[in-house]
Every structure is written in structure tokens, then in C-alpha cells.
Chain A
Amino acid sequence: AQTVTQSQPEMSVQEAETVTLSCTYDTSESNYYLFWYKQPPSRQMILVIRQEAYKQQNATENRFSVNFQKAAKSFSLKISDSQLGDTAMYFCAFINAGNMLTFGGGTRLMVKP
């Protein structure tokens, strides 16, 4: 079974600065996807970014980018130029070829003005 670990329960960052959220996972499989989801106070789960394990290039979506280290089983999320609207819970998730979707425990991010 795979596990996903987010070691930072809470983080804060000043508006316009950069913050990195950590995620590690454990799996014996070679083909899988990794995701970061955002859950704002509205509680809607929003996909932020995804990474395919067979791609070495790190995924980027506007101000969001990942640092994917496959050998280390690490998948961190970097948010640049943080905005107040980035305040939310962030969940790292993993899905394998068997379509089993597993989430980490989440990191609560607070962007301060």
C-alpha cells in the first residue's frame, strides 16, 4: 500500500513571498501520478498541479511549481508571489496504475498581508 506524508501541519508566508510545502510518499510502483489539491474555506477541492512519474521535467502552472525527486520519493510544491487567495489547506495526493487515490494529511497555509 502507498502512503503520503505531509510533515508540515501549518505554514505561513508573507504576501508576495515564496513558500514551499513538503510531501513525501512511499510506493513500490514505477508508474503513477502525483497531485497537489487546494481546499479553500469554501471546502471545494481544487486541483492545483499534477506530475506524471515518468516525466523528469517538473510541472509548472503559473505561480505554482513542483520539485519532483523520484528517487527520494519527494514531491514539494512551491508557490511564488503568494497571494491572499492562496490561503487554504493543501493536500498532496498519489494515484497508482490501479487507480487507488491516496492523500496526505494536509498543510494549512496562511498568507499574511
Chain B
Amino acid sequence: NAGVMQNPRHLVRRRGQEARLRCSPMKGHSHVYWYRQLPEEGLKFMVYLQKENIIDESGMPKERFSAEFPKEGPSILRIQQVVRGDSAAYFCASSRGQGVLGTEAFFGQGTRLTVV
């Protein structure tokens, strides 16, 4: 059973380009979380999704950022018109999310976005 897969591991974009980060949750997991980590800082919550639904996006910037988790395929975090301040590591986690037993979250290895 593969773990949470994020790709790419490293992504370089020029200012103004779009960045698309992918997250494939563990098999059987229907809940996905996205976090941003700036250098030397902690994990900042961005968005929580279930299949085809955004449950909580209170941590997402109002502009340029969007996320989806379609019925089929990976979850996508999309950043339009990237700026230097978007440079960070973006982590995805997944969980079963069903009752008490399902609440453990497993993390991917992250995508390091560098905006030049």
C-alpha cells in the first residue's frame, strides 16, 4: 500500500506562471489536507477536502489559490500568477476520516515550490 504521493517533489516557476501541485492520498482515504510550510516555520493549514467537496478553506488566500479533490484522480492545489512569496514547501496529508479509528493522518513528502 503506497503512502501519500505528492508530485512533483520540486517545482520551479517564474513569477506570473501557474503552479499545479498534485497529491494522491493513500488507498482508502477520502480526506485530504493541504499545508504550507515557510522556511523555519510550522505547518499552516490551507484547505481540507473530501471527495468532490471543500470542507474548510479558511487557510487559503482569497486570490490566486484554489484546490480540488475530484471523484477520480489526485487532489490538486493550484496557484495562479505565482509570486516570490509563494515559495514554500507544500504538504498534503490524507486520512480515512471515518469515526475514531480513521483519524490518523499520513503525510506526503511535500512539494518544494521555488518562484524565481
Contacts and interface: CB of A to CB of B under 8 A. Distances in A.
Contacts of B89: 43
A100 B56 contact: yes
A61 B11 CA distance: 36
Contact of A45 (B41, B95, B100, B107): B107
A33 B89 CA distance: 25
Contact of B42 (A33, A95, A104): A104
A103 B97 contact: no
Contacts of A101: 33, 45, 48, 93, 95, 105
Nearest to B40: A108
Given A95-B103, A101-B33, A103-B35, A43 B109 contact: yes
Interface residues of A, number: 22
B95 A99 contact: yes
A53 to B, nearest CB: 9
Give the secondary structure class of A's interface.
strand
B110 interface: yes
A102 B45 contact: yes
Nearest to A54: B100
Interface of A: 31, 33, 35, 37, 43-45, 47, 50, 52, 89, 91, 93, 95, 99-106
Interface of B: 31, 33, 35, 41-43, 45, 48, 55-56, 89, 91, 93, 95, 97, 100, 102-107, 109-110
* Shortest beta-carbon contacts, A-B, top 8: A45-B107, A106-B42, A105-B42, A99-B97, A103-B43, A95-B103, A33-B103, A101-B105
18 contacts: A33-B103, A35-B104, A44-B110, A45-B93, A45-B107, A45-B110, A52-B100, A91-B42, A99-B48, A99-B55, A99-B97, A100-B48, A101-B33, A101-B45, A103-B35, A103-B42, A104-B42, A106-B41
